[in-house]
Amino acid sequence: MRPIDKCMIWVVLLAAMAVPTGLQAQKQQEPDTLEWNGKRYLLLVERDVPTPLMVYYQRTMQETPFQYWSSSNSRGHTAHYELTNETLYLTRIAAKRYRTRDDNLWAASGIDTVVGPEYFGIKPFGQVQPYGEGPVAADWYSGVVELKLIATDKKERKSEEALGRRLLQVKDGKVVQNLLVSEKEQKALQRLTPGEAASGVLGTKQALLEMQRRFNNYYVRCGSDRESVRYQGHEGLMAQRRNRLTLVMELWGNDPMRCGSHWEKATADHGAPFGRWLISGDSIYLSEVSTHNGDSLYPYDSHPQPLTPYLGMEAEAAHEGRGVFANWLDGTYEIHYGAWEENSFGVRNYNVSKTQKVRVKEGKVISSQFSPSSFEEDSIRQTANHYTICDESNIWSVEDKQLSAAVGSYKKPKKAPRYQSDKGGMRGYFASRSLTDERAKERLFRVRIGFMVNCKGEAGEWRLLNANRGELFEFANMVLDMVKQMPQRWLPAEDKKGNAVDCWQVIEFTVSNGSLTNADYK
């Protein structure tokens, strides 16, 4: 192939990459519309920024009834509004696929189905409007939206309204600012040096444009950044949930205007709040809070926030060493465990190796499921792969009736297995550890665990010897988990000739108010 041919091929390829294909163009979300003063406008929002109707489902914590139905509408619907007496009203909704209100099944039609808000049970939060047919006051919405005139003729297309940017600042459904930034004013603002403030009417419009920027950044951060969580010493990321804000925001019903950190604040550290979480026992705690700011996906600024004052009186008092008990969390959450890796283009991706689904009721974990397996199962598997009995035909055991009933009767060794740093060292290890389950705080019980120390001093073959049931059985398993995690530094048993042998041993504890006391072994 001649050099000129190679050059032409590259030119064609680069040109093809630069021109948007039909498929790429179709991915643009179809905008909502708004009627005002006898004219129709497109109601524009940035990607990852919710529309007024999507905010309704955020704040009610409901699943949106609209199913994705084409590559040109990722929300599955378009909504239509009107502006009357400085109030924003939702008038109708168009969708091809949606979940019906009565039987909770997906319905479909070949054309847009246009219904009123009452079809989906949408009501004003203030309840000042009786439920029924007709427009619904969008009093759940606060934010900054941009309107673009839908011109009907050549004259309108060249008008100041069509060429400019009209911004609405809405608070609880009421329009508090409605300003048109003309094409000439936009150019004047662009000529200002960074940090320079305009004066008069132009200064007011500059401030509203800045508020729109912060408003957009707030929701871009909520849709792009992740909250971290620690569970059994493993760090993970909370999965993003469709049309949801951060878990911190759930404390305020997903209403940024209530949390004290939102786009109307003038200082730079007021951004989207993100939490660092801890699962301890059967509870979830919020251990850190920071606010995120940034104009683009990466990088962004993170500003630490004081924990208890930040949450105010709506959360329970801080638990020392763990954080604030997150009693406002309800629902099913997904946690991804993995590692950040950088590809050949320098883009960082989080590669997930394990997923945990956690069902939470008022901050308490009521069920947990891992895929492909739990950390505990991995640990047991690794221990099982590492631990082996040296000689199955020559097993010994300390004297203990419960142990004999569980594993059988064996000869007693001359020296029983013992911890390398003696009983005092082992007791010191458990003295700084306790059960985190609140239910165990006022209980007194004993836990006895049988296990084998092989001829190499490795521990395995764990057995719970207590005949406990219910909560006590759960607590005993928690103690067993802690014993498995302790440094397994055992000296093997010895027979009469001083040879190291495999031997069963028993370790026991008294658990008082969650603390492991009187740790002992045979």
Alpha helix segments (H runs only) across 164-199: 183-190
In a domain, 19, yes or no: no
- 163 and 46 share one domain: yes
Residue 213 DSSP code: H
Report which secondary-structure segment, H or E, holds 456: none
Domain assignment of residue 8, yes or no: no
Q: Are residues 107 and 173 part of one domain?
A: yes
Q: Are residues 192 and 60 in the same domain?
A: yes
Number of structural domains (the chain) is 3
User: Among the three residues 191, 219, 247, which one is the final residue of a domain in this structure?
Assistant: 219
| β-pair type (318-319, 323-325) | antiparallel
Picking from 163, 192, 219, the residue at the C-terminal end of a domain is 219
Residues 294 and 334 both lie in one domain: yes
For residue 104, tell me if it sits in a domain.
yes
Provide CB contacts within 8 A for 100, sequence distance 6+.
65, 106, 107
Residue 17 lies in a domain: no
The verdict on 81 and 180 lying in the same domain is yes
Task: Tell me if 169 is assigned to some domain.
Answer: yes
User: Is-contact 459 419, C-beta < 8 A?
Assistant: no
CA 146, CA 170: separation in Å to the nearest integer?
Answer: 11
Out of 201, 219, 237, a domain closes at 219
Give the pLDDT confidence score for residue 321 in this predicted structure: 66
In order along its 522 residues, the chain shows pLDDT tens digits of 444 344 443 333 333 333 333 333 334 678 999 999 999 999 999 888 999 999 999 999 888 888 766 666 778 889 999 999 999 999 999 887 776 655 455 566 556 788 899 888 898 988 655 545 789 999 999 999 999 999 999 999 999 999 999 999 999 999 999 999 999 999 999 999 988 999 999 999 999 999 999 999 999 888 888 899 999 889 999 987 777 889 999 888 899 888 877 888 767 667 889 999 999 888 899 989 998 888 766 677 888 888 876 666 555 555 556 788 888 898 889 999 988 887 776 777 788 888 998 889 999 988 888 888 777 667 655 555 567 889 988 999 999 999 998 888 999 999 999 998 778 878 888 887 788 777 787 788 899 999 999 999 989 888 889 866 667 887 888 888 888 878 778 999 999 999 999 999 999 999 988 888 888 999
Non-local CB neighbours of 1 within 8 Å, separated by 6+ positions:
none
Question: In the numeric block, which tokens belong to residue 188?
Answer: 């004047």
What is the rounded CA–CA span in Å between residue 13 and residue 5? 12
pLDDT of residue 315: 57
Spatial distance between the Cα atoms of 342 and 364, rounded to a whole number of angstroms: 36
Alpha-carbon distance of 282 to 437, in angstroms, equals 6
Task: Evaluate whether residue 434 is within a structural domain.
Answer: yes
Same domain, 198 and 317: no
CB atoms within 10 A of CB 367: 11
Q: Using CA atoms, how far apart are residues 274 and 304, in angstroms rounded to an integer?
A: 10
Q: Kindly state whether residues 366 and 385 are assigned to the same domain.
A: no
- Give burial (CB, 10 Å; 0-12/13-18/19+) of 147: buried
Instruction: Determine, yes or no, domain membership for 1.
Output: no
The pair of three-digit structure tokens given for residue 362, joined into one six-digit string? 């008022």
Q: Let me know whether 402 and 259 are in one domain.
A: no
Q: Sign of dihedral through CA atoms 58, 59, 65, 66?
A: negative
Overall pTM surpassing 0.85 (yes/no): no
- Are residues 460 and 498 part of one domain? yes
Query: Are residues 244 and 366 located together in one domain of the fold?
Result: yes
Whole-number Å distance between alpha carbons of 430 and 426: 7
Is the bond leading into 372 cis (omega within 30 degrees of zero)? yes
Give the pair of three-digit tokens for residue 52: 């007024």
Structural domain that includes position 504:
375-521
Residue 242 lies in a domain: yes
In this prediction, residue 9 carries a pLDDT of 39
Indicate if 235 and 352 belong to the same structural domain.
yes
Q: Are 244 and 313 contained in the same domain?
A: yes
